[in-house]
Amino acid sequence: MATLEIHDLHVSVEAENGPREILRGVDLTVKQGETHAIMGPNGSGKSTLAYSLAGHPKYTITGGTVTLDGEDVLEMSVDERARAGVFLAMQYPVEVPGVSVSNFLRTAATAIRGEAPKLRTWVKEVKEAMERLSIDPAFAERNVNEGFSGGEKKRHEILQLELLRPKIAILDETDSGLDVDALRVVSEGVNRVRETGEVGTLLITHYTRILRYIKPDHVHVFAAGRIAESGGPELADKLEEEGYEAYVKADRTA
């Protein structure tokens, strides 16, 4: 079972008036097969955690460790992380001009599997995954993210997740901007991947809405750059009722 271990992670960004510490000691362990929800107010550093794990160059690791089965993730390039099985669905995916969804997915699958998937079985695999996500077949020939609606971007994220089968998937605000139907389709995709027991999921979200469809094993409240509280699914119910006010207050008085 693959295990991602984050220990005392500190991360800074370069702001106008010098470096600014955003993550202030994050501890978290995610195992293959587990679903962890990370919830917290805007600006608490959730996306910074996601980008730092994916190796985004804007974020400087100033302390702590991240390992996947004991291997130092922070030493790996972005590509090496993907090959090792760490997947980040981007909150704002970038456009990839001139590259179709179909080619993009095949290139990614080749990088991760170490060999190109056989064309015939691959086309079938993609077609079936797209059907499950109610994606129009013409979508495969469109250029990645070019003119994608919010819902199409999210479906594309889940399509990647289903086809690439990472060990650890980081879904940052996959639920934001989705209507109820799209939210259901996207959640069903996440749940299908989850049922394989092969993927550990870090589900980052500001809202409790998606947790009606995806039941996390663990819930963590993120506040001011660290995990302020951890618990089971009942913690999400508490957040739904009480919001984040108590955590934000505690930080101000700290």
Cα 67 from chain centre: 17
**Quick one: 90 or 163, whose CB is closer to ligand ADP?**
90
119 binds, among Mg ion, ligand ADP, none (CB under 5 to 8 A by kind): none
Contact 10, 25 (CB under 8 A): yes
* Site residues, ligand ADP (CB under 6 A): 13, 15, 22, 40, 42-48, 58
Q: Does 35 bind Mg ion (CB under 5 A)?
A: no
Q: Establish how many alpha carbons lie within 13 A of residue 187's alpha carbon, considering only the half-sphere containing its beta carbon.
A: 19
Q: How far apart are CA 154 and CA 186, in angstroms?
A: 7
DSSP label at residue 44: S
Which residues fall within 8 angstroms of residue 147, CB to CB, at 6 or more apart? none
Least Å from the CB of residue 171 to Mg ion? 11
Least Å from the CB of residue 23 to ligand ADP? 8
Q: Does 92 bind Mg ion (CB under 5 A)?
A: no
Burial of 199 (0-12, 13-18, 19+ CB in 10 A): buried
Q: Does 208 bind Mg ion (CB under 5 A)?
A: no
* Choice from 42, 77, 121, 253 touching Mg ion (CB under 5 A): 42
85 binds, among ligand ADP, Mg ion, none (CB under 5 to 8 A by kind): none
Contacting positions for Mg ion (CB under 5 A): 42, 46-47
